[in-house]
Structure 1
Amino acid sequence: MVGRFGRDESGVFAVLFGLMAIVLIALGGAGVDYVALQQARSRAQVALDAAALALQPQIFKASYDEETVRAQAEAIVLDRIGDARINARVDGIETSIPDGSLYLHAEFTMPTMFVSLVGVPTLGAAVQAKATRKMLELEVAMVLDNSGSMANYNRMTYLKEAARCATRIMFYGEVDDDCDEADDAEAQDNVKIGIVPFTMMVNIGTQFSNATWLDWTGQNSISQLNFDSDDNASTPFAGPVNRKTLFAQTGTSWRGCVEARRAPYDTDDTAPSTTAALFTPMFSPDTASGNYNSYMSDTGGTCQVKTCTEKVVRKNCSYSWWSGWTCSGSTTNTYTKKVGSTTTNPAASCVPANAVVLSGPSTDQNGTTLTTTTTYSLLSERELQERLCKYNGTTVADSKNSGPNAYCPSISVLPLTDNVDNVLARINAMNADGGTNIQQGAMWGFHALSNTEPLTQAAPYSSGAVSKVMILMTDGFNEPDYQRYSDTWNGTGVYYSWGFRKDGRLPDTDGIIGNENEYNAHNSKADMSATMDEKTVATCNNAKAEGIRVYTIGLNPPSQATRDMLESCSSGDGYYFFPEDPSDLVDVFTQIANQLAQLRLAL
């Protein structure tokens, strides 16, 4: 029986079939395992790509640690794969800071369903990813309205909050819900921010008082306007006028404001390498007595006395409450003319037409005789205003709204800097006071982003590794003179960035300084405001031509003209904002800052 059993082959096929079935199932299921492997590999590749992109910025940080980044990358990969059966390990990292590249290598394994039947319990593969984003310089000039209207409805409070938040986002990238930098955040050293506070003027800072691009000695023809040395308005004055001397003579100091350059330099950043392109330190001239910003005597200093005194003697005079003084006797007029130390008594009147009264009339009574004395200037109001001699040795009180620095804002420009504390301090120091000159704010934002004088902290325009941005915010409109527009002699009561309106510098279409034809052609406040709008848009267009991105923010714009101007000034759709409420400023600045934070990295 044993022999028959040994020779019996009737069950051999079943054994062989069983063995073959395992192999056939494994081979048939290998395709399933392979598909699963490829699916897992695809998920692992996507996960590793995401890890490389997310962690690439870490390579620029001083605190960069390879093992920390490796562990973070591995955690991202496992999370993105989302399958606990798959094991993955990031086992290779390479970095290149000059190229801005992070290379990751990873391996993963997964259990098999079918080929495990033939002794292959797991399958695996390797994946690799590389993220390359060069670190770019980000240069941002925040041009911020500090005019008096910003004190209304807590506008300045919200603006400061918004600007601080934007600053932290751009410097740190990561902020908490209160817009403070995250605990582990580090200030990026490839970010520079400048602050340009503006009112009706811009204060560039007294640290530039010895800069060669400031025209202290009066080389530029605009420096001679509103000054004269011969007491004769009919003869042209060729200058020069040394403004540093004027400040010294009056016992005052330059506060830091400059005038707008003469056209076309008032809308571009041409380097101040020629006389016409120099910057003129602002010195607000003393106006004739009785006019706005008259801060000294027109007959003081080393000026010669030039007067005509008229004495009128009337006889047989009586006084009543109803009619005042009435005289029935004779009237005698006598005149005393004084020029310097020379006194004469002309028989005819020496009182000029449209004479300026220096003193009087004063009336003395002696019985029934009345004597009225009035002293007139022999000079016209303009001749009195323009006298250079009156500044010599006359100490004046220089205040916020009066004197040589009248209406020069107290907070100066902060040029581009990578010091976040300095930026925040300048924002905190801002205050609301004065008028609105959006154009000059934009112009100095433009200067801040240029590497040519007057401000040289920026990278050259030709640098491919820099992104330049201007953020221009205002709650008002371009005001030619918010104090007194129709001043008799000067056209405006306040001496502002383009001098007096009578100087004809703001329109200046013909390049002739002091052209009153242009003054007469632009003799309304609306004309002047429209011209300022045109110059604002021209400034923005010139900045955009140099590759500067311009964001504009108009807080509840006062007119459609201002809204149109700000829209034209911007870089287009998505670059202009018109929030209605001051509290909306924080959201607007945050949105812009988040966009700009991404500009620090370029794919």
Structure 2
Amino acid sequence: MLFGIAVVPIISFVGAAMDYTRANTARSSMQAALDSTALMLGKDLTDGTISTSQITEKAQAYFTALYHNSDAKNVTISATYTANSGNGSTILVKGAGNVNTDFMRIVGFPTLDFGTNSTSAWGNVRMRVALALDVTGSMQNDGKMPAMQTAAKELVDQLSKLAKNPGDIYISIVPFAKDVNLGTSYKDETWIDWDVWTDQNPTWGTCSQAGKTTKSSCLSAGKVWTPDKTKWTGCVTDRTQDYDTKNTAPSSTNAPTMVVAEEYVTKKWDGTINEQYCKSSNSPYMPPIMPLSYNWNALKDLIGNLQPTGNTNQGIGMAWAWLTLGVGVPPFNAPAKDTANYTYKDAIILLSDGLNTQNRFTSNTSQIDARQKILCENAKAAEIAVYTVQVNTGGDAESTVLKQCASDANKFYHIKEAGQTASVFKSIGQSLAKLRVAK
């Protein structure tokens, strides 16, 4: 008798546990589907694929494709969008349903209800992207230069769509060959080192003693040589080691950190200057670096003005790309970050078509690569996301240093046709868009 009396609640408890397990499984599956739905909606809104009026429809489509629990009945979902009010935009996706019970219906519970929700937040992540673009002489071959220009302009358009407010996205552009062009507006800054430049051009200046017309004769007489800075065209070379691998602010009080002026030239047989690569009246011409900007048209105009010239020094492109991201770091003094309201993610995209051939110190490729590897490791340690692209139309070996520079294997792209550049940059843009989704 006792067993007969006890067996009913025992069976009821076991049955209830089974019903609850089925309901919990349905809920867990719904949570996973809602999480994916919310993230995909956030990405779609971030990159402009959908508008806010399409959220509910798109949420239903994503969820339906993801949720396949056969026990769940009467499933409903809703999606609520909240615009950016300083701390990011959000989408709240809620789901609900029930499970028909097998055992609990005996005690008056024919169904078990369940529900859950997921939130996707974005827009509180601001992004700063530096493009280090190879403009060396070999870029004139196989359509590489126009392909890069088209791809880079399309990337600017792609990233600009991620910005809902001014300052959400900044982009800088660093054209590089052996040197980069800083622009002549900085000629009177105290953090520029003129020693290399005056050694290259020993008559471009004046001596504190009359009759001394060269730097060497002036210094030998114990006098002061003053460079004629008006002749400088804006070229700078690698900073003194180890500051060639860091983004330390240049300062006249710490000489090795200073920016080293150079006259990047080709010369005629008699030693006179043939071409000055940073001189705007010359063709080919390497334009000055454009600091972080959200003037999308100006960025694309600069890209359109790039011309192939000179030897390859990927390290200087990478170094100056990092310097453009430095908050308060001369010469560009990137805008301050509002870390109270936003999260910031910085990235560098380094594109080159060849192997390193020359920097300030050497023409030995392995030595240049070694400096670049240190530089890239330092940038990654500073939480810079590094994407590298090798445009290899000439049968070169895969660039070990570019592969090492990338933040991970998925951020290194080895392409063998110029026409692939556009798809690679689009892929990078999509990767950057994902970084804008916070959760």
Fold shared, TM-score > 0.5 on shorter chain:
yes
Q: State the alpha-carbon separation in 2 of the partners of residues 412 and 602 from structure 1.
A: 34
1:470 is displaced (CA, Å) by: 1.5
Q: Is the 8 A contact 2:128 2:347 kept in 1?
A: yes
Counterpart contact for 1:190–1:600, Cα < 8 Å:
no
- Alignment map for 1:254-269 (pairs within 5 Å): 255-269=233-247
The residue type equivalent to 1:470 in the other structure is: I
Deviates more, 1:100-109 or 1:576-585: 100-109
Say which SS state the counterpart of residue 595 (structure 1) adopts: helix
- Deviation string, structure 1 residues 263-308 (Cα, Å, up to 9, x no partner): 4433322212225244355456998x9523347xxxxxxxxxxxxx
Counterpart pick for 2:202 among 227, 237, 258: 227
SS at match of 2:226: coil
What is the match of residue 539 of structure 1? Answer: 375
Query: Which letter does structure 2 place at the counterpart of 1:240?
Result: W
| In structure 1, distance between residues paired with 2:22 and 2:152 | 52
Alignment of 1:90-239 (within 5 A): 90=77, 93=80, 95=82, 98=87, 101-108=90-97, 124-132=113-121, 135-172=124-161, 190-206=168-184, 208-209=185-186, 212-213=189-190, 215=192, 220-225=194-199, 226-227=201-202, 229=207, 230=212, 236-237=219-220, 239=224
Partner of 1:353: none
How many Å apart are 1:145 and its aligned residue? 0.9
The count of aligned residue pairs is: 409
Residue 455 of structure 1 pairs with residue 328 of structure 2: no
2:159 touches 2:429 (CA, 8 Å); kept in 1? yes
Residue deviations 1:241-262, cap 9 Å, x none? 23335x3xxxxxx543334433
| Residue 409 (1) aligns with residue 285 (2) | yes
How far did 1:558 drift? 6.8
**For 1:190 and 1:423, how far apart are their aligned partners in 2?**
16
Q: Using the TM superposition, give the Cα deviation of residue 126 of structure 1 relative to its aligned residue in structure 2, in angstroms.
A: 3.9
Q: Confirm or deny that 1:241 pairs with 2:218.
A: no
Distance in 2 separating the partners of 1:40 and 1:401: 66
Secondary structure at 1:143 match in 2: strand
Q: As a proportion of its length, which structure holds more helix?
A: 2
Which residue matches 1:54? 40
- The farther-off stretch of 195-204 and 31-40 is 31-40
| Greater gyration radius | 1
Does residue 432 (structure 1) correspond to residue 418 (structure 2)? The answer is no
How far the C-alpha of 1:453 sits from its partner, in A, is 0.9
Rounded Cα–Cα distance in structure 1 between residues aligned with 2:336 and 2:294: 13
Aligned residue for 1:601, secondary structure, equals coil
Q: Name the CA distance, whole Å, in 1 between partners of 2:280 and 2:383.
A: 38
Q: Secondary structure at the match of 1:578?
A: strand
Which ranges of structure 1 fall in alignment gaps of 5 or more residues? 1-28, 174-184, 248-253, 296-398, 481-496, 499-505, 508-525
1:292 matches 2:271: yes
Cα distance in 2 for residues equivalent to 1:581 and 1:92: 43
CA apart distance, 1:152: 1.0
Q: CA deviation at 1:540?
A: 2.4
Alpha-carbon spacing, 1:568–1:286, altered in 2? closer, same or farther (3 Å): closer
The one-letter code matched in structure 2 to 1:197 is P
| C-alpha contact (below 8 Å) 2:178/2:237 kept by paired residues | no
State whether residues 284 and 405 of structure 1, in contact with CA within 8 Å, keep that contact through their aligned partners in structure 2.
no
Structure 1 distance, partners of 2:278, 2:97, is: 77
Q: Given that residues 213 and 272 in structure 1 are in contact (C-alpha distance below 8 angstroms), is that contact kept between their aligned partners in structure 2? A: no
CA drift at 1:134: 6.8
Distance 2:54 2:19 in 1: 34
The residue number in structure 1 matching 2:10 is none
8 Å contact from structure 1 (residues 223, 241) kept in 2: no
Asked if structure 2 preserves the Cα contact closer than 8 Å seen for 1:213 and 1:453, the reply is no
2:11 — aligned with what? none
Task: Give the direction of change, closer, same or farther, for the CA distance of 1:42–1:261 in structure 2 (3 Å limit).
Answer: closer
Partner of 1:323: none
TM norm structure 1 = 0.55
CA deviation profile, 1:534-572 (whole Å, cap 9, x unmatched): 333333233233222322222228797982333343335
Distance verdict in 2 for CA 1:33–1:244, change over 3 Å: closer
RMSD across aligned positions (CA): 4.8
Give 1:33-48 correspondences, 5 Å limit: 41=27, 44-48=30-34
Change (3 A) 1:456 1:42: same
Query: Following superposition of structure 1 onto structure 2, how do residues 349-388 of structure 1 map, counting pairs within 5 Å?
Result: none
CA, structure 1 residues 102+115, in 2 after alignment: closer, same or farther (shift >3 Å)?
A: same
2:353 is equivalent to residue 475 of structure 1: yes
Structure 1: distance between partners of 2:59 and 2:396: 52
Contact kept, 8 Å, 1:201 with 1:407, in 2: the verdict is no
- Percent of pairs with identical residues: 26
In the TM superposition, residue 51 of structure 1 has moved relative to its aligned partner by: 3.5
Q: Please say if residues 477 and 562 of structure 1, whose CA atoms lie closer than 8 Å, have aligned partners that are also in contact.
A: no
Q: What amino acid is aligned across from residue 41 of structure 2 in structure 1? A: L
User: Residue 544 of structure 1 aligns to a residue in which SS?
Assistant: helix
Separation of aligned partners in 1, 2:165 and 2:99: 42
